[in-house]
Amino acid sequence: CTAFVARYGGYILLSPARYDRLVKGYQRHHFQVTLLGQTIPTARAYLPLPAGIFRMAPSRFLVAILLGTSIWNGGFLTLGYVMRVGT
């Protein structure tokens, strides 16, 4: 992966040094990144890739996506309920 980033990363403004920082950060905080990423619609689609590459435990991944998705959808559900009750 590092060789691929070194060769083609410049096309998406991803330097090898930044890639290394991202990898180390994800490895240290994979649960938090996955949980927070579930609240960002576009990131939600791509988070299984690093989780699989870095062999995140499936149970931890499932808990992180369950909590993150609940946080994201909980706000919309609450807002919908409040707006419905108000009418």
Give the ranges where 1-87 is alpha helix by DSSP (H). Answer: 2-8, 16-28, 30-37, 41-46, 48-53, 58-86
At 58 the pLDDT is: 92
Burial class (CB in 10 A: 0-12, 13-18, 19+), 30: buried
Q: Is the per-residue pLDDT at 85 higher than 80? A: no
Instruction: Report yes or no: 23 and 9 within 8 Å, Cβ to Cβ.
Output: no
What tens digit of pLDDT does each residue of 24-64 get? 988 899 899 888 888 888 888 888 888 888 888 999 999 99
Percentage of the chain modeled with pLDDT above 70? 98
Q: Return d(Cα 37, Cα 33) in angstroms, integer.
A: 6
pLDDT band at 87 (very low <50, low <70, confident <90, very high): low
Global model pTM greater than 0.85: no
Q: Is the per-residue pLDDT at 86 higher than 80? A: no
Q: Is the per-residue pLDDT at 66 higher than 80? A: yes
Q: Is the per-residue pLDDT at 83 higher than 80? A: yes
